[in-house]
Amino acid sequence: MLGAAFAALGGGQALAQVEQRPEPAPVQASDRPIAPATAQPERIVLNLTADPAHAMAVTWRTAPGMTGEVQVAEALDGPDFIASATRLTAETDDAVLVVREAPDFKAAYHSAVMTGLKPATVYVYRVGSGQTWSEWFQFRTAAETPEPFTFLYMGDMQNNILSEASRTLRMGFRKAGDAAFVIHAGDLINRHDSDNEWGEWFASGGFLYAQTPQMPTPGNHEYGRGPILNPQWRRQFTLPETGPAGVERLKETAWAVDYQGMRLISIDAPLFHGDEAMRGEMVRWLDQILADNPNRWTVMFLHFPLFSIDPDRDNSRVRDALKPLIDKYKVDLVLQAHDHGYARGAIGEGIMGNAGPDHRSDHGSTYVVSVAGPKMYPVANLTWAERMAERTQTFQTLDVSGDAIVYRAFTATGRLLDGFRLFKGHDGVPRQEPLPNGDQ
């Protein structure tokens, strides 16, 4: 969360990939004056750390001028855990931000990392100070060794976040309520400097964000002109600082976490696309962490798809730089967003154009594009995609074990849209097979 200060931003459309079509109705959240932060902790969110078996990060905000503390204890079946809770002082940033709705919005952003935790253990915590505290929340640390787990993957929420995108997220938790974490493939909001929209994003998840780690990567709508990352990003998330060493602009946007036998990698797609120096830093870093990877599974996620499913888009810089590394190191899954539709398929080795291969395959890295919110674009006739869908809001559950990753995509109503089992061939190449009828 906290690190080098970011300059306050005015308005501005996000950098590259400027939208070529008008925004769909209904209109976005109004620019009414935002409600001021109060003494009561709000927008509480967990994030995984570089050591998820022994540490967990938490971030929240209050009115300016307040301090923050965390109380944490190992959870018990009854209420006696309160007597053993320890206190941790949070790092606080009293921020004055230029947001769309107010020229000098003020709030105190608090962050803390709970360390020294036991692996595979349920903990209980609350945040606040003085006489004002949140309720107690629970989370589970990761195991130290590979163990089965489930995570959720969400595409853009972005538009009409609370009114319409929230149902997709909440249905995801109904299907996978014990998910270890949730990844968001960028464009969490639509206007990078809108605190109202950030408020909608936090309201969509509510207490769920405080008990299940949220792991976002930025999209183009989290960036303003420059490109400069929304200054609220690092104040309201405390993400791993495991990206390219010494590169301040990529802190908490490009990162990697090992979780129970899987390496999860976030790529800062907007800077990757629009900044040659940052692209070079990420490619060098990615080559290193893929070459030295002891995990069974590797999942990469980013906002801009390597193979666009929207017929009017082509992210050639992203594809040309990343595809050779994905092929070389046999990355299992590439999870993406941005194109406001759904597509999934396997693509084998070799440099190719935006259209991808001219046939379907059951082997090679699996590429997915999905959207959680209501903004929709057309989907091209994709020869490589095993499954496609237009005008469909989805969430995805991924059940990870040593033998396979079972992937399912559901619509916002909970209907199964797509599914497959991913496993490794003898050559180490990932392969897809249909789910057995009983697993549908």
Question: Parallel, antiparallel, or unpaired: how do β-strands 214-216 and 182-184 relate?
Answer: parallel
Stretch 137-150: mean pLDDT, rounded?
A: 98
Mean pLDDT is lowest, of 97-106, 140-149, 160-169, 264-273, for 97-106
Distance (Å, whole) CA 321 – CA 327: 11
Q: Quick one: pLDDT at residue 12?
A: 33
Stretch 385-404: mean pLDDT, rounded?
A: 98
Tens-place pLDDT, residues 341-351: 999 999 999 98
Q: Which CATH superfamily is domain 149-439 in?
A: Metallo-dependent phosphatases (3.60.21.10)
Q: Quick one: pLDDT at residue 274?
A: 87
Contacts of 206 (CB under 8 A, 6+ apart): none
Mean pLDDT is lowest, of 270-279, 342-351, 386-395, 431-440, for 431-440
Distance (Å, whole) CA 2 – CA 17: 28
CA contacts within 13 A on the Cβ side of 304: 28
Tens-place pLDDT, residues 305-341: 999 999 999 999 999 999 999 999 999 999 999 999 9
pLDDT at 223 over 70: yes
Q: Quick one: pLDDT at residue 437?
A: 78
Distance (Å, whole) CA 9 – CA 11: 7
Distance (Å, whole) CA 248 – CA 329: 27
Peptide bond preceding 26 in cis form (omega within 30 of 0): yes
Distance (Å, whole) CA 322 – CA 309: 17
Which residues in 134-198 belong to E strands, given as ranges?
137-140, 149-154, 182-184
The token pair at 107 is 């709030």
Tens-place pLDDT, residues 169-217: 999 999 999 999 999 999 999 999 999 999 999 999 999 999 999 999 9
Domain assignments of the chain as residue spans, ordered by start: 42-140, 149-439
- Cβ atoms of 436 and 369 within 8 Å: the answer is no
Stretch 384-413: mean pLDDT, rounded?
A: 98
CA contacts within 13 A on the Cβ side of 430: 29
Tens-place pLDDT, residues 125-134: 999 999 999 9
What is the maximum alpha-carbon separation in the chain? 64
The token pair at 243 is 């990206």
In the numeric block, the tokens 């079946």 are attached to: 77
Stretch 370-374: mean pLDDT, rounded?
A: 98
The token pair at 118 is 């036991």
Q: In terms of Cα–Cα distance, which of 263, 266, 245, 262 is closest to 254?
A: 266
Q: Quick one: pLDDT at residue 10?
A: 31
Fold of 42-140: Immunoglobulin-like (2.60.40)
pLDDT above 90: percentage of residues in the chain: 87
219 vs 1, more confident: 219
Q: Do the domains 42-140 and 149-439 sit in the same CATH topology, yes or no?
A: no
The rounded radius of gyration (Å) of the Cα atoms in the chain is 21
Distance (Å, whole) CA 350 – CA 402: 28
pLDDT-based confidence at 31, cuts 50/70/90? low
pLDDT at 142 over 50: yes
Query: Which helix (H) or strand (E) element contains residue 228?
Result: strand 228-229
pLDDT at 1 over 90: no
Distance (Å, whole) CA 123 – CA 115: 12
Distance (Å, whole) CA 410 – CA 394: 5
In the numeric block, the tokens 């960028």 are attached to: 186
Q: Quick one: pLDDT at residue 9?
A: 29
∠ CA 78-83-85, rounded to 5°: 100
Residue 417 identity: L
Chain-centre distance for alpha carbon 61: 20
Q: In terms of Cα–Cα distance, which of 332, 366, 314 is closest to 264?
A: 332
CA contacts within 13 A on the Cβ side of 51: 9
Q: Quick one: pLDDT at residue 425?
A: 86
Stretch 74-102: mean pLDDT, rounded?
A: 95
The token pair at 92 is 């606080």
Q: Which long-range contacts (CB under 8 A, 24 or more apart) does 87-90 make?
A: 88/112, 88/114, 90/127
pLDDT at 428 over 70: yes
Q: Quick one: pLDDT at residue 5?
A: 32
Stretch 342-369: mean pLDDT, rounded?
A: 96
pLDDT at 230 over 90: yes
Tens-place pLDDT, residues 257-307: 999 999 999 999 999 998 999 999 999 999 999 999 999 999 999 999 999
Distance (Å, whole) CA 40 – CA 60: 10
Stretch 30-40: mean pLDDT, rounded?
A: 78
Q: Quick one: pLDDT at residue 4?
A: 33
